[in-house]
Chain A
Amino acid sequence: MIEIYLIGSVLLGAGLFFNRGKVLNYALIWTFVALQCAYTVYACLNYNQTESTYFTYDSLGIIMLLTATIISIPTVIHSHIYLEESEENTPGSRAMYFGALVLLIAAVSAAYLANHIAVVWIFAEITTLSASALIYHHRNKLALEGTWKYVFICAISITFVFIGILFLSLSFAKAGSDDLSYSNLLAHSSILNLSWLRLAFLFIFTGFTVKLGLFPMFTAGVDAKDKAPGPASALLSSIVMCMGFVGIFRIYVVMANTPLLHWASLVVGISAFLSLFIAAVYMIKVKNIKRMMAYSSVEHMGLVMLGIAAGGIGYYAAILHIVLHAFVKSSFFFQYNQIYRIYRNKNIYQLGNYFKYNTTGAIVVLLAFISVTAMPPSGMFVSEFLIFRSLFESNQLILLLVVLLLLTLIIWAFAKNIFKILFIPVVNFDESTVPKVSPWRSVSQFILIGGAAYLGLNPPLIFVDLIKSSIMLLPH
């Protein structure tokens, strides 16, 4: 089935790219959505089975695949709306956009399920290609700058991951086997050469941080989310970040079964803390709403990796948090297009009194803000609280205090900007040109935010079981 899915996606992507007709384009993209849903159902039915040697439908892969499928449906809807409203929309740019979108979603889904580190690496490369086509959608100087930075930093990071894989093969030399699948690595974890493994982990971790949006390679992602169209940014800050997480998490599981667990946690923890610190610093001074949301993603990824580094309940909380973050942040980016349509600007100084112009949209912004800052009714409150608990239980009190302080700063900066957008009128704003925005366009955002709250506060048993079985191989 995975071959059918991949070949089908490539064919649909090529079809989208070469057919410039509008109706045919829309028919093809919805065919892809149907294929994606069918494949997700198939993957769930074949839980824990391996297919075509390189793909395993394990619990982590299933969780992430479900997340990706759920987010891809509103992405396609909002892409329609976005392309219809955009002035620069030509048949060529639409064909390119949808073709790249299909390729991105398919590559990310395959990377979730791959059980071999080289296969994950190949699909990570394909996401760079397709994401760069999405970022360059507007064909202007600034978009080119963003795309160039993204492509260049991603290319270097991908090279880093490859060096990591080479070191991994060196650390594996004693085993006398050339199979670098995760299960084989785990089976031989006792005879891995530790000094090579250390180097391998450093390089693989650094390489995947570009997709995860963590220190040190986070800058590319921030620029990309700024310049990409809203729905594409939603994908970049949700499912692509999940892909980076899967890449790091799977190799971390291998590390956790060697004596290097403590050292790996230290590396992850330092990177996570620095990400939080950087996010706090930039959140205070940022004046571009899209970049503000991108830095908020950096903050949340920092929290996720802190959970991983702290261990214990933190593992569970990290996976819960990254899923909830994907739902909430993507709905925030979907909402951004409505904001831009009204104000024609993304500078926070030029936005304001949003409740007056688009009440439904303003409610979404408010709810998304409450969710992202993890205030109690939101689902992310639960996961963030569990991450704090894991830090407390691992006796990292000073770290916990500093993290709480940084989070307070972030919430203050975030709230200041969001409430400015929602309530304070802008000077010299011409109200006569404000278009009417249909409330129906916010339905998907309500569903995503509501779903995140439901998953956080009252997680279904099957979801909890899936998370628990994906962290089963980690020490308790």
Chain B
Amino acid sequence: MLHVLLIVFLISLFYMSIANRMSTYVNVLALQGVLLFFVAFLELKHINTLNLILILLETIIFKSLAVPIFLNYVLKRNHITREAEPYLPNFVSLIITTVIVVTTILLSNTMEESYLDKMYFVVALSTLFTGLYFIATRRKIITHVMGYLIIENGVFVLSLAVGNEMPMLVNLGIMLDIFASVLILGIFLNKIGDVFKDIDVNQLTNLKDY
């Protein structure tokens, strides 16, 4: 069951790489939050109940409700166009995502005597690199933020893998999640929306060396 959930998580990355609309991105992020909720529920059997409740609340309320609602609000308020406007065609994105996943699978096979379920490793690392790839190839600032949220989800998967032995690390991951998301989303995305009317990274090129 765990593996099924993780594989669905991986497939959501492929889906995102060919998605055209901004609202699809938001929906996939919400779906990933729900998937992480179930993964956390099934995986973290050995930690105390209070901690588990905190983790579950974070995934379901923060990741799959608060963040998507807020992203939708930002999209509406700043009249961001519905298209994602990638620099590269979707077909190329799909190929690159596939290459990333295959590479992480190959990498995971080189790690011998592992205490870790390799599925976690593959899903986490490919999510991380796909997120970085999204940041590099999308034009809008809000898609950069979504790329960052994807990276966060990948890190969360990885922290669940060691969660039973070291619950402290999962809590730290949640702290990072909330802290960075609030900092990035709350303060700056709002602010940038006010100052730069059309949110596009091409407007953020005024800091130069000459």
Contacts and interface: CB of A to CB of B under 8 A. Distances in A.
Interface of A: 118, 121-122, 125, 128-129, 132, 141-142, 144-149, 151-152, 155-156, 158-159, 162-163, 165-166, 169-170, 173-174, 178, 193, 195-196, 223, 226-227, 282, 285-288, 291
Interface string B89-126: 00000000000000000000011111110000000000
Contacts of B87: none
B183 A148 contact: no
B148 A285 contact: no
Given A147-B188, A163-B128, A226 B155 contact: no
A288 B209 contact: yes
Contact of A144 (B135, B161, B195): B195
Given A118-B172, A125-B176, A132-B183, A148 B204 contact: yes
B148 A152 contact: yes
Contacts of A286: 209-210
Nearest to A174: B115
Looking at A125, A163, A193, the one whose CB has the most chain B CB atoms below 10 A away is A163
Given A129-B183, A152-B148, A223-B207, A144 B192 contact: yes
Given A121-B172, A142-B206, A148 B192 contact: yes
A141 B208 CA distance: 14
Interface stretch (B68-76, B78-86, B163-171): B163-171
Contacts of A142: 206-207
A295 B155 CA distance: 32
Contacts of A223: 207
Contacts of A226: 207
Contacts of B173: 162
Nearest to B165: A178
Contacts of B183: 128-129, 132, 151, 155
B180 interface: yes
Nearest to B110: A195
Interface in B128-172: 128, 132, 135, 141, 144, 148, 151-152, 155, 158-159, 161-162, 165-166, 168-169, 172
B46 interface: no
A285 B207 contact: no
Given A162-B155, A226-B207, A170 B148 contact: no
A285 B196 CA distance: 29
A151 B132 CA distance: 16
Contacts of A291: 209
Nearest to B166: A178
Looking at A159, A173, A227, the one whose CB has the most chain B CB atoms below 10 A away is A159
Contacts of A129: 179, 183
B71 to A, nearest CB: 16
10 contacts: A142-B207, A145-B204, A155-B184, A156-B148, A156-B151, A170-B116, A170-B162, A174-B115, A196-B111, A287-B209
